[in-house]
């Protein structure tokens, strides 16, 4: 292998270990996605709730802010004490880090909805529920989705560190590369798909966001 240059090694590695890299890629993505999914399921309703009650809002967002300040490696270690090794610890970590962007974006999104539009809805005889689904959410969806995108990109980075608590994923390949005597190619094989995943997911969610945004409907 010594007579190959880096690019050849890189390609050779992919040829030989393609199935393994792919399975780790999927695993990596699932860990990140589940964490963000749970954060969205919990964060968006809470964000909607606190947009109605300004007093609680500063508290809730403040708490999410505090979580965000903890370094990710420290967070993983702390959670590991309670949850043990493995995937769950990383998912919970991703969940905690995703809360703030999703929460605060939902909050901002809901607040920036024009009061006039809401009044019109009321005047048309819409119920509270209808106003939420037909006016507020469609108008704020692009801001909320921006939060989810942000969270998912950060999550992919955190999951790479998650290898240290035995969660697997592409971080495993990176760590193995750092341990190997001639591991530059292996490190790249782990690192490049991680970066690619972040960019791809961001792009994909960007499309979803534009689809869901009523403002862009006319332009299509």
Partner 1 sequence: MQRKTKFFISLIGLVFTTFLFSGCSFALPGLSTNSDENTISIAGGASTESQITGGLVKGMIEHYTDKKVNVINNLGTTTVIHQAMMNQDVSISSIRYTGTDLTGTLKLDPEKDPGKAFTIVKKAFEKRYDQTWFPSYGFANTYTFMVTKETAKKYNLKKISDLKKVADQLTAGVDTSWMNREGDGYKAFSEEYGVDFKKVYPMQIGLVYDAVHAGKMDVVLGYSTDGRIASYDLVMLEDDMKFFPPYDASIVASNTILKKNPELKAIFKKLEGTISTKEMQKLNYEVDNNLLEPDIVATKFLEEHHYFEKGDEK
The residues that touch partner 1, with contacts defined as CB under 8 A, are: 1, 9, 12-13, 16-17, 19-21, 26-27, 30-31, 34, 37-38, 40-41, 84-88, 91, 133-134, 137-138, 163-164, 166, 168, 172-173, 175-176, 179-181, 185-186, 212, 214
Least Cβ distance, residue 38 to partner 1 (angstroms): 7
Q: Are 187 and 178 in contact (CB under 8 A)?
A: yes
Produce one character per residue of 3-15: b if its CB has 16 or more CB atoms within 10 Å, e if not.
Answer: eeeeeebbeebee
Both ends of the chain: CA-CA distance in Å?
52
Least Cβ distance, residue 41 to partner 1 (angstroms): 5
Q: Which residue's CB is nearer to partner 1, number 66 or number 204? A: 204
Least Cβ distance, residue 207 to partner 1 (angstroms): 15
Q: Which residue's CB is nearer to partner 1, number 62 or number 125? A: 125
Q: Which residue's CB is nearer to partner 1, number 16 or number 112? A: 16
Q: Which residue's CB is nearer to partner 1, number 66 or number 114? A: 114
Least Cβ distance, residue 177 to partner 1 (angstroms): 10
Least Cβ distance, residue 5 to partner 1 (angstroms): 13
The answer to whether the Cα torsion of 100, 103, 109, 110 is positive or negative is: negative
Q: Which residue's CB is nearer to partner 1, number 65 or number 130? A: 130
């Amino acid at each position: 292998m010594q007579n190959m240059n880096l690019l050849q090694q890189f390609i050779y590695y992919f040829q030989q270990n393609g199935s393994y890299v792919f399975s780790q890629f999927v695993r990596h993505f699932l860990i990140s996605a589940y964490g963000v999914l749970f954060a969205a399921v919990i964060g968006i309703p809470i964000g909607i709730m606190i947009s109605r009650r300004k007093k609680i809002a500063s508290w809730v967002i403040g708490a999410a802010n505090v979580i965000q300040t903890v370094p990710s490696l420290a967070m993983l270690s702390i959670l590991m004490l309670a949850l043990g090794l493995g995937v769950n610890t990383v998912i919970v970590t991703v969940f905690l880090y995703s809360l703030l962007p999703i929460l605060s974006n939902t909050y901002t999104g809901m607040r920036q909805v024009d009061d006039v539009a809401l009044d019109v809805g009321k005047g048309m005889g819409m119920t509270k529920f209808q106003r939420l689904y037909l006016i507020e959410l469609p108008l704020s969806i692009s801001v909320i989705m921006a939060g989810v995108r942000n969270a998912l990109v950060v999550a992919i980075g955190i999951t790479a560190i998650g290898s240290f608590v035995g969660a697997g994923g592409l971080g495993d390949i990176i760590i193995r590369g750092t341990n190997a005597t001639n591991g530059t190619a292996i490190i790249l094989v782990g690192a490049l798909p991680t970066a690619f995943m972040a960019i791809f997911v961001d792009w994909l969610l960007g499309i979803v966001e534009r689809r869901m945004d009523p403002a862009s409907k006319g332009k299509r």
